[in-house]
C-alpha cells in the first residue's frame, strides 16, 4: 500500500517529466509552424490540440507544472541558460533511451505473441524494465536537484510557497470529488 506522500511524489515525478518533455518539444513545434509549405493542401493537418480551438488550446494555451513555476520565479538570463543546459542534457539522455525502449517493447510483444510462454524471459524483461524506470526516476530527480541549485534563496522560498499552494489546490480538488 502506498502512502499519500509516496503517491504525491510519484505524481510530481510524472508531472515534471511531462512538463520537461513539453518544454523541450516547443522548439520543434515552432520550427514546424514556420515551414514554407504551411498553406499547402497536401501538408499534414495541424496537431489535434490546435484543431480543437477554444480557450486553453493552441498557441495561447497556459503552461502548467514545473515550467510554469520556473517562469513565475523570474529567472535571470544566466539562470535561464543554466536551466536550458540542464534540460538539454536530460533531453539528450531520454532521446538516447528511445531506441532501447522500442527494442524492449518489441521483445515483450514477441513474448506475448509466441506459441509458448517463457516465464524466465518474462521475468528478466520485467526486471530490466523496473531497473530502467528506477534509473529514469533517479535521473529526473538529479535534474530537478540541479535546477534547484541554480535558484537563489529567495527563488527557492518562492518555489516552496508555489508548491504548497499547488498542494492545497490538489487537496481541495480531491475533497470535492464524490466518494466511490
SS3 annotation, 121-178: HHHHHHHHHHHHHHHHHHHHHHHHHHHHHHCCHHHHHHHHHHHHHHHHHHHHHHHHCC
pLDDT of amino acid 49: 53
Contact (CB, 8 A) for 105 and 118? no
The mean per-residue pLDDT over the stretch 80-105 comes to 89
pLDDT of amino acid 142: 93
pLDDT of amino acid 166: 84
Q: Which pLDDT tens digit goes with each residue over 96-115?
A: 888 888 899 999 999 999 99
pLDDT of amino acid 179: 75
Q: How confident is the model at residue 44 (pLDDT cuts 50, 70, 90)?
A: low
Distance of alpha carbon 134 from alpha carbon 139, whole angstroms: 9
pTM: 0.56
Contact (CB, 8 A) for 118 and 111? yes
pLDDT of amino acid 131: 93
Distance of alpha carbon 131 from alpha carbon 97, whole angstroms: 13
Amino acid at each position: 500500500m502506498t502512502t499519500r506522500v509516496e503517491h504525491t511524489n510519484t505524481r510530481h515525478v510524472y508531472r515534471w517529466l511531462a512538463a520537461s518533455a513539453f518544454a523541450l518539444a516547443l522548439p520543434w513545434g515552432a520550427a514546424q509552424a514556420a515551414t514554407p509549405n504551411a498553406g499547402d493542401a497536401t501538408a499534414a493537418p495541424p496537431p489535434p490540440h490546435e484543431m480543437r480551438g477554444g480557450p486553453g488550446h493552441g498557441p495561447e494555451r497556459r503552461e502548467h507544472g514545473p515550467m510554469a513555476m520556473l517562469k513565475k520565479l523570474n529567472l535571470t538570463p544566466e539562470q535561464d541558460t543554466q536551466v536550458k543546459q540542464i534540460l538539454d542534457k536530460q533531453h539528450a539522455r531520454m532521446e538516447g533511451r528511445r531506441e532501447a525502449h522500442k527494442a524492449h517493447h518489441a521483445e515483450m510483444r514477441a513474448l506475448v505473441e509466441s506459441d509458448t510462454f517463457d516465464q524466465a524471459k518474462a521475468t528478466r524483461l520485467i526486471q530490466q524494465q523496473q531497473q530502467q524506470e528506477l534509473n529514469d526516476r533517479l535521473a529526473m530527480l538529479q535534474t530537478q536537484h540541479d535546477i534547484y541549485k541554480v535558484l537563489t534563496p529567495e527563488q527557492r522560498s518562492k518555489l516552496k510557497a508555489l508548491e504548497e499552494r499547488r498542494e492545497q489546490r490538489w487537496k481541495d480538488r480531491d475533497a470535492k470529488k464524490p466518494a466511490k
